[in-house]
Structure 1
Amino acid sequence: MWWLDAFSTYLYALGAVVIVIALLILISGLDDFFIDVVYWTRRLWRSLFVYNTCEHMLYHQLYRPAEKPLAIMVPAWQETGVIGPMAELVATTLDYENYHIFVGTYPNDPDTQRDVDEVCVRFPNVHKVVCARPGPTSKADCLNNVLDAILQFEQRARMTFEGFILHDSEDVVCEHELRLFNYLVHRKDLIQIPVYPFERQWNNFTSLHYLDEFAELHGKDVPVREALAGQVPSAGVGTCFSRRAVLALIEEGNGIAFDVQSLTEDYDIGLRLKARGMEEIFVRFPVLRYQRHPKQPDRLGQSRHEANVVCVREYFPDRLTTAVRQKSRWIIGIVYQGYRTHGWKRSLVLNYFLWRDRKGAISNFVSFAAMLIMLQLAAVGLLQLVWPSAPRFVSIFEGQGWFDGVLVANVALMGNRMLQRIIFVSGYYGVKQGLLSIPRLLWGNLINFMANWRAIRQIIRCGDPRRVAWDKTTHDFPSIGGENHAKRSLDEVLVDNGVISAADLHDAQLHRIDGLQLGSSMIHEGRITAEQLAAPIAEQIGVSCESVDPASLPRELLMAVPRHVALHYAVLPLRVESGTLVLASESYIDPVSLAAIARQLGRRVRYVIAYKGQVTVGLRRWYAHAEKGDRDPHHLLEMAADRGLIARERVSQLWNGYMSRQVMLGEILVAQGHLDEVAFRALLLNHARSEQRLGEFLIEQGVISKETLHRLLRLQASLQPSVTSLLEQECASFQRLERAS
């Protein structure tokens, strides 16, 4: 029968193919086994000889260095509805305050821009950047625009960022991440923390195969790479660059830090920094709490040490086509563009890891081919099992004893591969996911094969791997609830509430008093009262409004709020309601600052809006150590009334008028254009760690000159009345009234 001859010939050819594939699998398996041996040997050595003499560093030590300014760079193309939840989550969970988020948007993406604008209103530390070219460009091009905006912001805010952090808009950031970067950034130039994908339903193999790969990659492979080669590939998220590294990249690229033609600019930068001799580190830092935080129930097989590392969490694609598109971009960037750009290095160790990066171009096809061959041989064996009278074929491996050894070695190495995968997946996610990682190996092989094939087709179509266009992958963001709406402008609320007419508001804007913001100017001119201003501010923010008597605050609460906290955030403690400390403020407190106050006080807090001047006077009375001659202005008014110098019923009016016309130096700085409000807030974070008075600090930072400070202080004195001057005017009026009567 002709088909028997044809099938026999096919099996003979298949045998030759199997031999080649088996040898390639053996080489790749021995390569992976070497990494396993190094990892476990190193881990055993450290446990026996290092950690016996040196204790593990505890997370409390991350709080020792002062908070350095850190910039988070987020590229955003068609990310409507994602930036808001990210900023909200970061603000409420990050145990850090001195950071700014710069979001790169595109001129032809108005929906994302609108969403970022709304976020910027609520979060003063979030800044929108509009790229010069319409999108979608490459991620590197977007990051270059963001970096340029950061350097411009530094000049405007008179500050310098010490760390530049890469994140995507869908990332969930660990609360201690910035603390860890802050601790290391003055010593290391590239800091990478692990990435652990979020879990989905157990049968979503497409998304969960990322979980398996990242668990092993960032649990074992990258730590070994750092230990042997001193080089760390950036993951594109959870990466912090030192200022020295960023400036070196800008210098090397003639003003452009990120390679705009690279599809994996993060991987590219890791190699560029290593070539310049800079320090790179991969950090697996566990945060283990023993007090105050109840221990969460562990999953079976989960390691408490491994499952509590500082890391980045995010959802990865759950659709086959999306995963293939993303991985093909990684393959083009790392394998093909990486080879064209970086070639091979002088270091044999680094070349070994570069080969491991690039062997996927072959191993992805080999693994898929091995899977197909295995299915064919299984089918033949099954056929002969269920059809006893079927023709019997001589084994294609007959008489090749050496090949039996290769097969045994491959089976052993594959068993080891499965064991390693189970160990590292179980360490973070539990043994259930660890066991499920085995069937997901086959699905992962299929995805990697399809991605590799797509990458080759793209390169052939474009003619050059560096001409392949950026192909963005969509992600999901975990829902945290709540809405993200922009606040209405104060002008709009004032007019809508009938506090002032549109015509009078326009006139007030035209004749605003020099050195005052619009609300203060209208109070000084008598157009509105402090109460009429406070109510719209509270409505605009979404909190309540109330009058505060700064002279009658509970002393035990005043003692509970440290001086530096009260002065830095301009808040006064009012009372405790159901365990929550209620604070008074004259202006909006953003979620980042409110969360920072809660952390520093160690309790839940909320705030209300007080009338203008009430918090200012209270701060001067209780915290700022005012001059003796004006230490208790309210008492001076009472004394004047007791002596009959002024009418008793005028005390309250004079007191309210005095408070509502008090002016802080910061308001004058912003009103006169020396700083914008965002830059002033950034400076206040640095000033909080200084023992200098604000004026002296601003001079030292080069924001203003000594002459300008003296002029601003004179303007402040002329704008805000003293109680003595008010009494002199009132006494003269009172005496004239008495003579007239």
Structure 2
Amino acid sequence: MWWLDAFSTYLYGLSVVVTVIAVLILFSGLDDFFIDIVYWVRRLWRALFVYHTREHTRYHELYRPLEKPLAIMVPAWQETGVIGHMAELVATTLDYENYHIFVGTYPNDPDTQRDVDEVCARFPNVHKVICARPGPTSKADCLNNVLDAILQFERRAHLNFEGFILHDAEDVVCEHELRLFNYLVHRKDLIQIPVYPFERQWNNFTSLHYLDEFAELHGKDIPVREALAGQVPSAGVGTCFSRRAVLALIEDGNGIAFDVQSLTEDYDIGLRLKARGMAEIFVRFPVLRYQRHATQRGQLGQSRRDSSVICVREYFPDRLATAVRQKSRWIIGIVYQGYRTHGWRHGLVLNYFLWRDRKGAINNFVSFAAMLIMLQLAVILLLQMVWTGMPRFVSIFEGQRWFDVILVANIALMGNRMLQRIIFVSGYYGVKQGLLSIPRLLWGNLINFLANWRAIRQIIKCGDPRRVAWDKTTHDFPSIGGENRAKRSLDDMLVANGAISAAELHEAQLHRIDGLQLGSSMIHEGRITAEQLATPIAEQIGVSCESVDPATLSCELLNAVPRNIALHYAVLPLRVEGGVLVLASESYIDPVSLAAIARQLGRRVRYVIAYKGQVTVGLRRWYAHGHHSDRDPCHLLQMAADRGLITHDRVPQLWNDYTSRQVMLGEILVAQGHLDEVAFRALLLSHARSEQRLGEFLTGQGVISPETLHRLLRLQASLQPSVTSLLEQECATFEPLERAS
């Protein structure tokens, strides 16, 4: 029968294909098995010999170095609704304060820009960057724009960032991430922490196959690569570059740090820095806290050490088309662009790992072909079992003992591959996900095959892998509740509340007093009262507003807030309500600073808005050493009233005049344009670690000259009245009273 001959020919061709695929799978399996051996031997060696003489570094050690300025770079194309969540989560999660987030947006993406503007209104350490070219450009191009804005900000704020950190808008960061980078950045030039995808519903194989791959890649493969080759590929998120590394990249690129033609600029940078001889490290740092009751609340099979590492979490694509698009970009960037850019011009060990990076171009097709062949052989076997009259074909591999050995070896290697996958997935996610990773292997093979095929089609279409355009992948961000609340204009609120008319406001803007911001200027001119200014500020922020009498504060409360905290954040302790310490401030305290205050005091805090000058006077009275401009201003007023020089009814009014017209040096600096408000806040973080007074610190940092400082101090003295001068205006007989006091 003709179909019998055709089927026999098909089986012969299949045997040739199976032989080739089996050999390729054997070589790839042995390659992976080598990495397994190195990892487990190294782990055993360290357990037996290293950690017997040297303990693991405890997370408390991360708090020893002073907080260096760190910059977080976030590219954002069509990320509406995501940046706000990230900033909120970072502010409330990170146990760090001296950082700034720079978000790269595009001129033709107004929705994202509007979202970032709302975030910047609430978080002074978040800065919007508008890229020079319309989007979407490559991620590298966006990062170059962000980096340029960071360097401009450094010059304006008179500070140098010591670490430059890559993150995406949908990333969820660990509490100690910046502490870890701060601890290592002076010794290492590229620091990478693990990435662990969030779990989704168990049957969402598309999203969960990322979980399997990253668990093994960042649990075993990258640590072995670092140990043998000293080179660490950046994951694009959770990567920190030292200042030295960033400047070297800028120098190499003639002013451009990131390769704009690369689809995987993070991978490219790891190789460039290695070529420059810079130190790279992959850090799996567990944060293990003492537990009084050793109860296991994690997933079954979860390793306490592995599941406690400082890492980046995010949701990965849950749709097949999206996953294929993302992975095809990775394949083009790592395999094809990587080969064109870096070739094999490295040492033997690093070339070996480059081969492992690039073998996916073959392996993805081989694995998929193996799946198809297994399916065909299973169908033939099923037909022979169901159709008893079907001709019994002699095994197409009969008599080939060498092939039997290959098959047995491949089965053993595949069993080891599954075991390794189960171990590393279970270590972070528990046994349930570890076992489910086995059926997900097949789905992952399909995704990788489709991604490879798409990558090849894109390259053929463009004619050159470096011409393939950037193809952004959308992500989800975990919901954390709350909403982004942009600040309403204070000027509009003053008019709406009836504190001042629109015409009067316009007049005040035209004739603002030099050295004062608009609100202070209107108070000095008598256009509005301190209460009228404080009320819309409190409404704008969403907190309450109240008048504060600094003289009535208890010593117990004052001792609860150390001097450096009170002066740095310009707050006074008022009372304790339900275990929460209530602070008074004259201005907005951003969530980052509020969280930092709570951490430093070791208790929950909230704040209220006080009338202008009340906190300033309180700080000078209780915390500022050597400030004796008025001796005790409140006492002088009371003495004047007791001696009949002024009526007792006038005391509150004069006290309000005195407090509301007090001016801080920082306000004058900002009002006169020596610094913008954001740069001033950044400088205050550095000043908090200095014993110098603010003026001395600013001149020491080169922000202003000594001559400018003297001029500003004279202006400050002329703008804020003393109680003595107010009493002299009230009565001509005050001077004898002052001498008597």
1:251 is matched with which residue? 251
Shift in Å, 1:291: 5.2
Per-residue deviation, 1:650: 1.4
Residues 690 and 291 (structure 1 numbering): CA distance in 2 closer, same or farther, change over 3 Å? farther
What CA distance in whole angstroms lies between the structure 2 residues aligned with 1:199 and 1:69?
Answer: 33
Q: How does 1:55-454 map to 2 (within 5 A)?
A: 55-290=55-290, 297-454=297-454
Instruction: Give the aligned residue type for 2:543.
Output: V
Displacement, 1:656?
1.2
Partner of residue 548, structure 2: 548
Q: Using the alignment, how far apart are the partners of 1:711 and 1:60 within structure 2?
A: 45
Deviation readout 1:330-384 (Å, 9 max, x if unpaired): 0000000000000013310000000000000000000000111111111111111
Give the Å deviation of 1:654: 1.1
Q: Residues 408-557 of structure 1: matches in 2 within 5 Å?
A: 408-557=408-557
Q: Secondary structure at the match of 2:731?
A: helix
**Deviation digits for residues 402-444 of structure 1, max 9, x if unmatched?**
1100000000000000000000000000000000000000000
Alpha-carbon offset, residue 387 of structure 1: 1.6
Alignment check: 8 A CA contact 2:727 2:734 kept: no
1:709 deviates by 0.2
Q: Is the 8 A contact 1:104 1:128 kept in 2?
A: yes
Other structure's SS at 1:40 match:
helix
Matched, 1:729 2:729: yes
Which runs of no fewer than 5 residues in structure 1 stay unpaired? 736-741
Letter in 2 for 1:290: Y
* Deviation of 1:631 (Å): 3.5
CA shift for structure 1 position 655: 1.0
Per mean C-alpha deviation after superposition, the further-off stretch among 32-41 and 373-382 is 373-382
Name 2:662's counterpart in structure 1.
662
Q: Deviations over 1:624-659 (max 9, x none)?
A: 124346342101111222222222221111111110
CA apart distance, 1:724? 1.6
**Compared CA separation, residues 547 and 104, structure 1 to 2 (3 A):** same
Q: Distance in 2 between matches of 1:350 and 1:625?
A: 60
The whole-number CA distance in structure 2 between the counterparts of 1:683 and 1:706 is 17
Q: Secondary structure at the match of 2:576?
A: strand
Q: 1:728 to 1:295 in 2, by over 3 A?
A: farther
In structure 2, the CA distance between the partners of 1:611 and 1:647, relative to structure 1 (3 Å rule), is same
* 2:682 counterpart residue number: 682
Q: TM-score, normalised by structure 2?
A: 0.98
Shift in Å, 1:725:
1.6
Taking the aligned partners of 1:171 and 1:440, their CA distance within structure 2 comes to 24
**Rounded Cα–Cα distance in structure 2 between residues aligned with 1:121 and 1:732:** 48
Aligned residue number for residue 42 of structure 2: 42
- Do 2:645 and 2:733's aligned partners in 1 also have CA atoms closer than 8 Å? no
Counterparts of 1:462 and 1:733 in 2: how far apart (Å)? 91
CA distance in 2, matches of 1:234, 1:339: 17
Q: For 1:141-169, what per-residue CA distance to the aligned partner results, in whole angstroms no more than 9, with x for missing partners?
A: 00000000000000111111000000000
Deviation at 1:557, TM superposition (A): 1.1
For 1:241 and 1:295, the matched residues in 2 are separated by: 38
> Does the Cα contact within 8 Å between 1:38 and 1:224 map onto a contact in 2?
yes
2:663–2:716 Cα contact (<8 Å) kept: yes
Flag structure 2 segments of 5+ consecutive residues without an equivalent.
Answer: 736-741
Distance 1:418 1:130 in 2: 47
Amino acid at match of 1:165: I
Structure 1 residue 707 and structure 2 residue 707: aligned?
yes
- TM-score, structure 1 normalization: 0.98
Q: Distance in 1 between matches of 2:15 and 2:288?
A: 54
Cα offset, 1:302, TM superposition = 0.1
- Aligned-pair distance for 1:730? 1.9
In 2, are the aligned partners of 1:646 and 1:734 still within 8 Å (CA)?
Answer: no
Q: Counterpart of 1:739?
A: none
Deviation at 1:731, TM superposition (A): 2.2
Q: For the residues of structure 1 that align with 2:453 and 2:298, how far apart are their CA atoms?
A: 41
SS in 2 for 1:8: helix
After TM superposition, give the deviation of residue 554 of structure 1 in Å: 1.9
2:574 is paired with a residue whose SS is: strand
| Number of aligned positions between the proteins | 735
Partner of 1:26: 26
What's the CA shift string for 1:484-530, capped at 9, x where partnerless? 02110100100011100000000001111110000111111111111
Q: Deviations over 1:658-679 (max 9, x none)?
A: 1011000000000000000000
Query: C-alpha displacement at 1:295, in angstroms?
Result: 6.7
- The letter for the 1-side match of 2:517 is Q
In the alignment, the residues of structure 2 paired with residue 629 and residue 192 of structure 1 have an alpha-carbon distance, to the nearest angstrom, of 53
For the residues of structure 2 that align with 1:475 and 1:631, how far apart are their CA atoms? 61
Residues 106, 133 of structure 2: 8 Å contact kept: yes
- Residue 292 of structure 1, CA deviation: 8.6
Q: Any idea what the Cα deviations from partners look like across 1:104-163, whole Å, max 9, x if unmatched? A: 000110100010011110001001001011100000000000000000000111111000
Tell me if structure 2 keeps the 8 A contact 1:543–1:608.
Answer: yes
In structure 1, give the amino acid aligned to 2:394.
V
Counterpart residue identity of residue 551, structure 1: A
Instruction: Note if contact 2:97-2:592 (Cα within 8 Å) is conserved in structure 1.
Output: yes
1:668-719 deviation digits (Å, cap 9, x = unpaired): 0000000000000000000000011100100011110000000000000001
Q: Distance in 1 between matches of 2:627 and 2:8?
A: 104
Aligned residue in 1 for 2:613? 613
1:610 CA displacement: 0.2
Deviation at 1:734, TM superposition (A): 8.8
Query: CA–CA distance in 1 between the matches of 2:72 and 2:398?
Result: 62
Secondary structure, aligned partner of 1:21: helix
CA contact (8 A) 2:209 2:440 kept: yes
Q: CA deviation at 1:294?
A: 9.4
What is the CA–CA distance in structure 1 between the aligned matches of 2:37 and 2:184, rounded to whole Å? 29
Q: Say whether the 8 Å CA contact 1:22–1:406 is kept in structure 2.
A: yes
Contact 2:74–2:166 under 8 Å retained in 1: yes
Q: 3-state DSSP class of the match of 1:77?
A: coil
Amino acid across the alignment from 2:595: A
1:579–1:604: 8 Å Cα contact kept in structure 2?
Answer: yes
What CA distance in whole angstroms lies between the structure 2 residues aligned with 1:178 and 1:362? Answer: 39
Q: Does 1:719 align with 2:697?
A: no
Give the match for residue 570 of structure 1: 570
* Counterpart code for 2:95: D
> Offset of 1:224 from its aligned partner?
0.1
Q: Which residue of the partner structure matches residue 738 of structure 2? A: none
> In terms of mean alpha carbon deviation, does 206-215 or 375-384 score higher?
375-384
Aligned equivalents of 1:628, 1:663: Cα separation in 2: 15
SS at match of 1:196: strand
Cα deviation for residue 293 of structure 1 reads 11
> 1:297-353, CA deviations, whole angstroms, 9 ceiling, x for partnerless residues?
111000000001000000000000000000000000000000000001331000000
Whole-angstrom CA distance in 2 between matches of 1:721 and 1:362: 80
* Equivalent pair of 1:647/1:734 in contact (CA under 8 Å): no
